[in-house]
Amino acid sequence: MSAIEVVENLRRLRRGVTGVRVKITWTTAQKVRSEYAQATNKYLSGQMAIHDTRFEMINLKRAYDPVASTDGTRFLVERLWPRGVKKTALHVHAWLKDVAPSTTLRRWFGHDPKKWSEFRRRYFHELGAHAEILDPILKLARCSRVTLVYSSHDMEHNNAVALRDYLQARIGKKRVPHKAAT
């Protein structure tokens, strides 16, 4: 068990999540302290950026994946309801149809990786024209974990990936790249 897993399990125990086991020996405790201190020092000195998804405030998850306690507030960001998924089984806070790309843009893109950078440009333009529809996600993402739920099979080239990049840029975490690698 890694140091991060130990800390995550301790947090789950504190929140009252059942079925979590934490067996910590003295050596594990020392290792956790040591790794945490090293990571904190590197992060604060600018030598390290946190890329672990457990530290991300905006996560992505397919609608067909099981719900996890670490998901936080879940938003469905598709214009169409995912096929074969019952509305009671998805466990989303809200279905934000208007955040999804327009029907014409969605049909034009067709999940073609060759059109990805142009899709992002057009989708960001649509989002910029209707910035108020992002308010529920932005407010929660600034203070807690948010999961954007999508139904696409392509996990790298879909509207949720583009939306996450746009939201992170709005929050101020990173710049939106003009050209994304395909």
- pLDDT score, position 150: 94
Query: Which residues are paired to 86 by β-bridges?
Result: none
- What is the per-residue pLDDT across 13-38, written as a single tens digit (0 to 9) for each? 666 655 555 556 666 666 666 766 66
pTM above 0.85, yes or no: no
Contact (CB, 8 A) for 90 and 63: yes
Q: What share of the chain has pLDDT > 90, as a percent? A: 35
Q: Across residues 88-114, what is the average pLDDT?
A: 91
- What is the per-residue pLDDT across 54-89, written as a single tens digit (0 to 9) for each? 446 889 999 999 888 888 899 999 999 999 999 888
- pLDDT score, position 69: 84
- Can you give the residue ranges of every domain in the chain? 3-44, 56-171
- pLDDT score, position 54: 41
Q: Across residues 85-109, what is the average pLDDT?
A: 91
Q: Using 50, 70 and 90 to split pLDDT, how confident is the model at 3? A: low
